[in-house]
Structure 1
């Protein structure tokens, strides 16, 4: 095979198809060829071969290739390009990043047999136990779809080794559908969840559905001492007796004495006797309807029921702990379940709540009371809170007051009513001190209001001297007002800031404050996205030169984003970031959606050639009209490639709306 490849490589371009034939043959007959024969090829041929290999072949060869100093990145990127399409931008630079993304995307598709052109085309290579086991070694999140019962059922039978591996690898579990606790077939989903959350290492839970009783089941015993009354009744009423379990086991199966176990129970059984697996999946429809079959939602009894006996006794099932909780469809009912559990949820470190509609005031106040009880306990671990959508900015103050130990807060606010929003039913707590220092390190505020209370935002910033990351988007001020006070506050109060992201706000009248902020700062990431920077500058080129000079004086800055700022022809000035003796250390520059024409990109490229960036520059040029003059655009891109990683996914100039939005 080595000689065949060498001959093919030496042929003229017209005969080079022989090389491709050989590559396809290696892919098809990889098992017969053997890994040693592939590894014996010259390094250039191996690199050419990589994009033609299957996922499992790449995974198998990667350790040995790495030992030879050969990266499999091109192979994984080729698979991603086939999966996502030729116009999809892939911003990945290491083989591990690319491999993990491939495995994450493919595992769920293959495991649940979801339709996908790439999977359909490669189903022979993917629908195998070896692929699922290989992918399971990479993934950290398991997406549980209760309706696809047959696939979950396989994890308790012929695919038990896969479940064992997932138990050791999965860190985060997502529940995508409501689980009907009254139906016998959903016990398989409950058992899988029990294995991952209690026996496994998963400590992060993502709930995608509005289903309060399922949320209560998921939280039960996994950190909070709260016991939901309805769930307790359900567990007790559906708990099978020992005799009924014994009847469903084989004749020589051991007896059992299960009981409901919770973290707060004073009775702790050191050992339980597991029953042999009952035939849960072969219950007749008549039994299902008449509820004659045994039904339980107690995870520990389910574990005894599903697991085969390994001996006369076994150690009692553990309880897991959830330290990161995300609820993506958090309605009032789910929020009430959570608020009841929060006061004793001492292990909870991160809480994320999303609602498709705006939260009610009463719901947020109930949450705040629960958070206050938790923080007052002095045992709270909660440091990260993310909540959307709040009806007005003032509720952010109430949440901060309720959780004074937060180090990260992310809020999204939506209110289209004029004027301040305040109601007597929102009293401040007597012990509240809004001048007290906050330990906040990360703060994100996304606003959709006709007018935003800038004074409140600046007061929070003044109380947060430890802030390292600040992201604010969408702030609208009254006519005649300026965002200059926000920038001044950042300069005076937040000297530890490393990441600053100002988005969808008017900053064209704030150049002096921006320049002052950049003096002696320690910023590593700076984003002015959709900030209309040049809108009011009388001399746009000169003002942009002042900004570039200030940016060059920040030695820690490595990421700069000026997306959606209508830079157009003025983009050429940015090439001066890397000119002179004090070139900027920026290695990632986002110029997307700036209506940069091909001729303007060509001039930018020519200037950048004269002043190469000191580091390989990742340059984002997405959503710029390159198709206005494809030859010039491609020539400019070719000139940039030797020292830039280019991100560009094309532009359709006939889409006049996209054209207008970028240039308005």
Structure 2
């Protein structure tokens, strides 16, 4: 049989025809019709099944020791294209598929995969299956129809989301969504299990709505007006609608009774619908009070007390945090006792006054002794000194992430502040400092490190020092003061003159992860091969090390030295080796592969070869990959020779 689908005409074999028939008629077959097939045949069938079929069969297949991973990966590649890289376990791949498809189908977005499979996807069964998998729900400013459906025929789906969603993303301002959308948010945040909010819009009033009653006692003046503008009139009309619930719509009753998973009592939609229309057409704002909205949309199941619960926001992320939003947050922070994680990102550099206001609010929060805040992430700060102020204001933070970018035009005015009162010991366990400055105050960073004896993870990127200075001081501090360190990531830093200090770090610390990416390691080494051998010898003496990253270091032909990591009587226990973006050419990779074959890694090695010029000699490159395949999971995506100059510039 000829098939003229994508890619042109091709011959379709009998086996594939049978697989297509199984896909089309699986609902008419018993599960055993598939589960009783030989294992090799089931594995060949998986890429042909629909998403719902994969989800339905997965538990029984897993019980037989068969993973549905190939089926989910096939869908991922159709969604993301041929360059989609297999980095997922079965559950991770399934979650990513369901996350993407739920958003596309729920909001009615077009996508080639969705268009080809719309018959299987645009069904209540798919949305139900996807809702059981996803943990994050994004409220997107599109049409109101998706949210209206959750208050009517798809209300059982809302009940399911309420129980499964842990994180809510908001991409629209409070004056854009309909009251249906606000009601859905109320159900997820207050009645449901969601404790994380990601705000993707610059809208202070929306932020105030999220904060009010969900951990903070602060009430924004404008929000207060909106909350109470319609409450009195709305309550009396709701009472009337609730009292007359004996003549509900028969059509609605039938739909609801047919859904076994919808455990709620139908109520009179006609009066409720007219009430909503009246509210929308009234002059002024409709109420945004979640308590009133809940009694409006769901009077038959409102709590006996008439008061809904208030949720608790334990993780808050604001991705477009400008001054207006920061002022709202700063006003709420002193009473935001349940907040455990706070992430603030601005696409432009924060102003001094903004950060000082944040530091003041944080200080008030911690002085209350009721704060739960342990993770703080702020980007972008205008200079390093403000990081010290944030640490001073947050003495109990165990995880800190900051990005610092100096203002390039003109001098920055540093406000006069009291002398730092940093304690002699900080509880920091995780620290990330990313810098974009012409010159960095390394002394301050080392000072923080000396005060952080419990530090387990450190990521420092972009530190620039005056001409003639060295990063040796940073490495020496780590060896002396941070003996608990397990993960070290130094990025975009000049370390070519620091080999002795790097060797000392490896002998002093019990590192599990080491990444030295874009650090120009070989730049000043006179004998590059011999120096790299010294590094390899030191790496082999670190028995706890399982991840090594050496991306963007221009290893090129010297990559073959790394094969010695697994030679001798005490081979390295590495599980992941990243040598991407190192301008490794096919002949060099082939030599590396042949050396690795003579002394295999003791366990299967994940080898990252992305962004290396494999297309210079595709045949030799493919031969090298085949030699690596028996003992390596190779991560590689296509390379274009036109990218060579980009790679060269990125490593200069």
Could you state the TM-score of these two structures normalised by the residue count of structure 1?
0.90
Where does residue 33 of structure 1 map in the other structure? Answer: 29
State how far apart, in whole Å, the 2-side matches of 1:330 and 1:190 are: 21
The Cα offsets for residues 191-217 of structure 1, whole Å up to 9 and x where unpaired, read as 001000000010000000000011101
Contact 2:244 2:268 in 1 (8 A): no
State how far apart, in whole Å, the 2-side matches of 1:453 and 1:59 are: 53
The Cα offsets for residues 287-328 of structure 1, whole Å up to 9 and x where unpaired, read as 745528x92111011000000415994653100000000000
State how far apart, in whole Å, the 2-side matches of 1:280 and 1:547 are: 72
Contact 2:322 2:346 in 1 (8 A): yes
Residues 495 and 470 from structure 1, CA distance in 2 versus in 1: closer, same or farther, beyond 3 angstroms? same
Check if 1:199 corresponds to 2:191: yes
In structure 1, the gaps of 5 or more residues are 1-13, 255-273
Q: What is the correspondence of 1:363-378 to structure 2 with a 5 Å cutoff? A: 363-378=354-369
* Local SS of the residue matching 2:447: helix
Residues 421 and 467 from structure 1, CA distance in 2 versus in 1: closer, same or farther, beyond 3 angstroms? farther
CA-atom RMSD, angstroms? Answer: 2.3
Where does residue 226 of structure 1 map in the other structure? Answer: 218
The Cα offsets for residues 311-354 of structure 1, whole Å up to 9 and x where unpaired, read as 99465310000000000000100000000000010000000000
Check if 1:354 corresponds to 2:324: no
State how far apart, in whole Å, the 2-side matches of 1:291 and 1:587 are: 65
Contact 1:277 1:308 in 2 (8 A): no
Deviation at residue 85 of structure 1 after TM alignment:
1.2
Where does residue 339 of structure 1 map in the other structure? Answer: 330
* Local SS of the residue matching 1:173: strand
Deviation at residue 500 of structure 1 after TM alignment:
0.4
Where does residue 477 of structure 2 map in the other structure? Answer: 489
Where does residue 157 of structure 1 map in the other structure? Answer: 152
Q: 1:56 aligns with which of 14, 28, 52?
A: 52
The Cα offsets for residues 206-253 of structure 1, whole Å up to 9 and x where unpaired, read as 000000011101110000111212211221223242664148726625
Q: 1:428 aligns with which of 406, 418, 421?
A: 418
State how far apart, in whole Å, the 1-side matches of 2:122 and 2:380 are: 41
State how far apart, in whole Å, the 2-side matches of 1:245 and 1:648 are: 63
Residues 659 and 475 from structure 1, CA distance in 2 versus in 1: closer, same or farther, beyond 3 angstroms? closer
Deviation at residue 657 of structure 1 after TM alignment:
3.1
Check if 1:317 corresponds to 2:305: no
Where does residue 64 of structure 2 map in the other structure? Answer: 68
State how far apart, in whole Å, the 1-side matches of 2:489 and 2:628 are: 27
In structure 2, the gaps of 5 or more residues are 1-9, 247-265
Q: 2:318 aligns with which of 296, 311, 327?
A: 327
Contact 1:191 1:302 in 2 (8 A): yes
Q: 1:475 aligns with which of 445, 463, 474?
A: 463
Check if 1:511 corresponds to 2:499: yes
Q: 2:207 aligns with which of 201, 215, 233?
A: 215
State how far apart, in whole Å, the 2-side matches of 1:657 and 1:116 are: 34
* Local SS of the residue matching 1:19: helix
Residues 248 and 567 from structure 1, CA distance in 2 versus in 1: closer, same or farther, beyond 3 angstroms? farther
Contact 1:146 1:186 in 2 (8 A): no
Contact 1:386 1:410 in 2 (8 A): yes
State how far apart, in whole Å, the 1-side matches of 2:303 and 2:424 are: 60
Q: 2:74 aligns with which of 78, 85, 89?
A: 78
Deviation at residue 169 of structure 1 after TM alignment:
0.5
Where does residue 95 of structure 1 map in the other structure? Answer: 90
Q: 1:252 aligns with which of 239, 244, 248?
A: 244
Contact 1:223 1:322 in 2 (8 A): yes
Check if 1:299 corresponds to 2:290: yes
The Cα offsets for residues 243-276 of structure 1, whole Å up to 9 and x where unpaired, read as 641487266259xxxxxxxxxxxxxxxxxxx996
Q: How many residues align?
A: 624
Where does residue 121 of structure 2 map in the other structure? Answer: 126
Deviation at residue 283 of structure 1 after TM alignment:
7.5
State how far apart, in whole Å, the 2-side matches of 1:507 and 1:139 are: 43
Residues 218 and 659 from structure 1, CA distance in 2 versus in 1: closer, same or farther, beyond 3 angstroms? closer
Q: 1:382 aligns with which of 356, 373, 377?
A: 373
Could you state the TM-score of these two structures normalised by the residue count of structure 2?
0.92
Residues 155 and 559 from structure 1, CA distance in 2 versus in 1: closer, same or farther, beyond 3 angstroms? same
The Cα offsets for residues 115-174 of structure 1, whole Å up to 9 and x where unpaired, read as 211111111111111111111111110011143311011111111111000000000000
State how far apart, in whole Å, the 1-side matches of 2:339 and 2:401 are: 17
Deviation at residue 655 of structure 1 after TM alignment:
3.5
Residues 632 and 221 from structure 1, CA distance in 2 versus in 1: closer, same or farther, beyond 3 angstroms? same
Check if 1:442 corresponds to 2:426: no
State how far apart, in whole Å, the 1-side matches of 2:242 and 2:397 are: 54
Q: Stretches of 4+ moved more than 6 A in 1?
A: 283-287
Deviation at residue 381 of structure 1 after TM alignment:
0.4
The Cα offsets for residues 369-412 of structure 1, whole Å up to 9 and x where unpaired, read as 00000011111100100000000010000000000100000000
Q: What is the correspondence of 1:389-408 to structure 2 with a 5 Å cutoff? A: 389-408=380-399
